[in-house]
A and B are shown apart, each in its own frame.
Chain A
Amino acid sequence: VQPPEKPLQAEEWNKLREDFQLPELLEEVMLNNMIRCNSPIDVAKSLLTHVAKRNGDIAYNVLVKYLTLCVQQGQVSEIRDVYDIMKVRFKILESGAYNLLIRGLSNSDQWRMALTLLEEAKKIMIPSRTCYESCIKAASCHQEMKLAFELYHEMLAKDVVPTLDILQSFFNFSRGMKGAELQKQLFGILLYLRENQIYPHKTFMWSIKLWFESIPGGNWRGNLTKIKDSGQCPVCKHQLEDSNLTEEEYSNLSERIIRDVIHGTDTFRKTSPEEFEAFQTFVENRLPFDIVIDGLNVSHIKSRKMQCENLSDAVNCLAKENSRLLVLGRKHMLMNSSNWKREIMKEMQNKADFFFAENISEDDAFLLYATLRSGKHCRFVTRDFLRDHKACLPDSVTRHLFRKWQRGHQIVLKKAFPLFFSRQPALRYDCVVQTSGDTWHIPYKDVFEEKYSYQVPRKWLCIQQK
């Protein structure tokens, strides 16, 4: 139904109601449509008046819908009136109403009221991140940076993940402001981005850049750039952080992989204890390897070719320069079949070490173990993104470590003919927000959405202090 354009008299509403299929739903449907069409608020008021006269009361959900319309149009005095009514009529409000009230009031000169509402909301629930967003934006908009940061830390303490908008607004509203404390807080936000591997989007990046350049007496200069493959920034000639993990991170990760990915809840799910033990002794006796190959994955690279030919191409390609190879496969590869010729397999076994797992075991887990056990220089070859193994890791910190390690150690096939593996893994430098005191390097995304978790941005913001 199309909402009317002008306020209607009670009789007119009554008539509409009679014509409507489900008379008891008229108010709700009508208000929903008003919200969608952004109808004038007077029309909604006339409907409410009609309802109030008819029933002597207005249902809570109808009030909330009216509130939505008011918030949408920024009708501050109406919002306040509705709040007063709700307050007396109902003992407590629910989260939806609080969200709306806070959002509506924070954009007005009554923004302090939004803060008191936030306090009230805290009594019954953990406020949503958009609630915090509205309040923080309102506070920082009115130059109350201290208050804004208090709210920010409060939400972090409650495990509410801040939106990028919140972080961006801090940079936007602190532009040109002085104060060591403020600067420390904003650096803290940049470090938050670093720890959680969040990449700012383009407009956010501009806010950061403009803030740095606006610090009075800071002499910061920002440039947009792309980092060279060697990891050097072309603007300030600074060398970016290495993608290698630290000793502690490394041992932590390999421990976690063994515990959570290979063993998990039950070692039998991916392998069996005997097999894993056999594999362990096999690896320990031949350490260290330079490259570990996922045999089955590589053998499917070209569907026209025989699977063992694909594999032997890959082994030949990688076997140069005396690197020690380990190929992981399954027992069925040893059976002479149309895809797996015994002679070719024999030949390959001279060039590389082979380990054949049971046909029902998962070889990926062995791949991870062998690579990690061989040390930091060792890399692995597979086209698999290893998402399911990442998912076995229990916490986000370890998952980030895993991704970082994967970026630095996975060799992928270049789409070229004949088979050619890029000898170097994707990145030698670490793709996170980083600082050296007088420089900051911040990777950013062109678009707002990040599409794949394994992709990292290639564009950087370089900020240096002159």
Chain B
Amino acid sequence: MQCANMLLRKIVRSSVLPFAAQHGMKKDLFPLNRPLSLSLCLKQDKACEPSEKLDLDEWKKVMKSGLQEEVSETGSEPKEPSSLAAARETLEMWRLAGRAVPENISEEQLKTFMECPSKSAKKKYLKYLHLRELHKKSHKRKMDEKRERRLEEQDQASDTDETKKSSFLFLPSSTMEKAYHWRAARSMIFGQPLVFDMSYEKEMSVREVTNTVKQIVMGESCNRRTADPFHIHFCNFKEDSLYHREFIKHYREAWGKLLITVTDQCYTEIFPKDKLIYLTADSPKVMKKFDHDKIYIVGSMVDKSIKTGVSLARAKRLGLETAALPLEKYLLWSTGAKNLTLDQMMQILLTLKDTDDWKKALEFVPKRKYCGFVNKPVKEVKKTLDLINALKLRKEREKVEKRFARNHPKQYTLK
């Protein structure tokens, strides 16, 4: 048996080697089409000998033979500074190794990557880029599908040609826009001011500033669409700051036509101090009612690392009144920080302004953060709260156990 094996192995080897050698000569002539021809050869080879014994090291030969010309291929690289090129190569290897690394990376992103101070920062940045790339791709795919579907529908519609005749009046979106602008213009004269304090740029990282601007843009569009919008003020707004650049990125040429007030002045210079109320989650005072005569200030800050008391400090310094939303009073809080995003704040304030109904307004608090709405003070529903906490605890424990079971499959046995 052993002898037979040896013999077979020899046969196989001798049948592969010539191909490899042959290939070695060919490579100078046809450097590009080699791998294809090799696999073809191998398949033929197999077809001739259906009952061969396995040669376990055959893959090595394939790999070794398949490779010389790949090195020669990579002669003309795009010209980049050597450090950048090296980083690009490392990234490519990481991608091949199956790490979360984007496929395409611009020179600017590569520079940001290299400037990351630590290994984990690099990893995080790459993962962010990778996820963004995936999102973009799937978005593009969806858009393409949609377009195709629409084209198909149009084809069908042109066949029948009846759907167009509708009894409804045609209302183009530009008409709606015009109406919104009218309202916004009115609010600039008669509306209640709402201040965004843009003085937190130093406290934030670049990504936090980007997120802040995104949230404000969302809030602004909500405001524009309501029946009675706020007159939005951006105070302490510095020309050519990171905020400014990000806003221009979002609004493009519309930035100059926006119906809001942008100023580098502080809110204390524009409004009387006794009318200002700084909204901050750290405030010891809880807001009871929405006051239509006051001017509320919202700090434009996204705080991903925990910096408590930054906006409270600002209000203290200026001697302003502060207030927090009565989240504890109306909601059975479950997880998450009490600070809400700026667009959520905007929607809550808009709803309060229109309806004065806390329940409706606090609908905009993310559902994951609370268990339910209470009409009575939280103290009175303590029992329910304890029950919920106990349930939560049990769920947590089960989760931990499951995770443990997954990580230690051998030690863990259910009894």
* Of A252-260, A263-271, A428-436, the one touching chain B: A263-271
Decide if A89 is an interface residue (CB 8 Å cutoff): yes
Q: Tell me the complex Cα distance, A261–B14, Å.
A: 76
Q: Which residues of B contact A60 (CB under 8 A)?
A: 93, 96-97
Cβ B59 vs Cβ A58 within 8 A: yes
Decide if A233 is an interface residue (CB 8 Å cutoff): no
CB within 8 Å for A360 and B284 given contacts A60-B96, A64-B97 = yes
User: Of A49, A56, A267, which contacts B35 at CB under 8 A?
Assistant: A56
Q: Mark A93-121, 1 if CB is under 8 A from B, else 0.
A: 11011000000000000000000000000
Q: Mark A118-136, 1 if CB is under 8 A from B, else 0.
A: 0000001100000000000
* Of B38-46, B227-235, B237-245, the one touching chain A: B38-46
* Of A40-48, A191-199, A365-373, the one touching chain B: A40-48
Cβ B90 vs Cβ A92 within 8 A: yes
Measured between C-beta atoms, what is the minimum distance from A32 to chain B in Å? 11
Measured between C-beta atoms, what is the minimum distance from B315 to chain A in Å? 9
Which of B35, B203, B314, B317 is packed against the most chain A CB atoms within 10 Å? B317
Cβ B62 vs Cβ A52 within 8 A: yes
* Secondary structure type dominating chain B contacts: helix
Q: Which residues of B contact A93 (CB under 8 A)?
A: 93
Decide if A55 is an interface residue (CB 8 Å cutoff): yes
Q: Tell me the complex Cα distance, A125–B93, Å.
A: 13
Q: Which residues of A contact B1 (CB under 8 A)?
A: none
Decide if A427 is an interface residue (CB 8 Å cutoff): no
User: Of B57, B97, B310, B312, which contacts A97 at CB under 8 A?
Assistant: B97
Cβ A56 vs Cβ B312 within 8 A: no
Decide if B48 is an interface residue (CB 8 Å cutoff): no
Measured between C-beta atoms, what is the minimum distance from B17 to chain A in Å? 15
Q: Mark B18-48, 1 if CB is under 8 A from A, else 0.
A: 0000000000000000011011001100100
Q: Which residues of B contact A125 (CB under 8 A)?
A: 90
CB within 8 Å for A88 and B71 given contacts A55-B39, A56-B39, A94-B90 = yes
Cβ A360 vs Cβ B46 within 8 A: no
Q: Which residues of A contact B56 (CB under 8 A)?
A: 7, 42, 45-46, 49
Cβ A53 vs Cβ B62 within 8 A: yes
Decide if A225 is an interface residue (CB 8 Å cutoff): no
CB within 8 Å for A57 and B90 given contacts A52-B62, A268-B316 = no
Interface size on A, residues (CB 8 A): 44
Decide if A54 is an interface residue (CB 8 Å cutoff): yes
CB within 8 Å for A269 and B70 given contacts A52-B58, A52-B59, A61-B96 = no
Decide if A301 is an interface residue (CB 8 Å cutoff): no
Q: Which residues of B contact A165 (CB under 8 A)?
A: none
Decide if A244 is an interface residue (CB 8 Å cutoff): no
Cβ B63 vs Cβ A94 within 8 A: no
Q: Which residues of B contact A359 (CB under 8 A)?
A: 284
CB within 8 Å for A89 and B97 given contacts A46-B54, A56-B35, A57-B35 = no
Decide if B309 is an interface residue (CB 8 Å cutoff): yes
Decide if A456 is an interface residue (CB 8 Å cutoff): no
Measured between C-beta atoms, what is the minimum distance from A72 to chain B in Å? 16
Decide if B94 is an interface residue (CB 8 Å cutoff): yes
Q: Which residues of A contact B38 (CB under 8 A)?
A: 56
Q: Which of A1-26 contact B (CB under 8 A)?
A: 7, 9-10
CB within 8 Å for A54 and B93 given contacts A46-B54, A81-B60, A88-B68 = no
Q: Which residues of B contact A91 (CB under 8 A)?
A: 71, 74, 89
Measured between C-beta atoms, what is the minimum distance from A64 to chain B in Å? 6
Q: Which residues of B contact A266 (CB under 8 A)?
A: 310, 313, 317
Q: Which residues of B contact A90 (CB under 8 A)?
A: 93, 96
Cβ B66 vs Cβ A57 within 8 A: yes
Measured between C-beta atoms, what is the minimum distance from A342 to chain B in Å? 23
Q: Tell me the complex Cα distance, A54–B98, Å.
A: 21
User: Of A7, A59, A265, which contacts B96 at CB under 8 A?
Assistant: A59
Q: Which of A67-97 contact B (CB under 8 A)?
A: 81, 84-85, 88-94, 96-97
Q: Tell me the complex Cα distance, A462–B171, Å.
A: 90
Q: Tell me the complex Cα distance, A359–B42, Å.
A: 82
Cβ A56 vs Cβ B284 within 8 A: no
Cβ A268 vs Cβ B46 within 8 A: no
Q: Which residues of B contact A64 (CB under 8 A)?
A: 97
Closest 4 CB pairs of A and B: A268-B313, A94-B93, A60-B96, A52-B59
Interface, chain A (partner B; CB < 8 A)? 7, 9-10, 28, 42, 45-46, 48-49, 51-61, 64, 81, 84-85, 88-94, 96-97, 124-125, 265-270, 272, 359-360
24 contacts between A and B (CB under 8 A): A7-B54, A45-B56, A45-B59, A53-B42, A56-B35, A56-B38, A57-B63, A58-B62, A58-B63, A60-B96, A81-B60, A89-B66, A90-B93, A91-B74, A91-B89, A92-B89, A93-B93, A94-B90, A94-B93, A266-B310, A268-B312, A268-B317, A272-B316, A360-B284
If A28-B98, A266-B310, A269-B309 are given as contacts, then 10 extra A-B residue pairs at C-beta distance below 8 Å, sorted by A number, are A49-B58, A53-B59, A56-B35, A57-B63, A58-B59, A85-B60, A88-B68, A90-B96, A91-B71, A92-B90
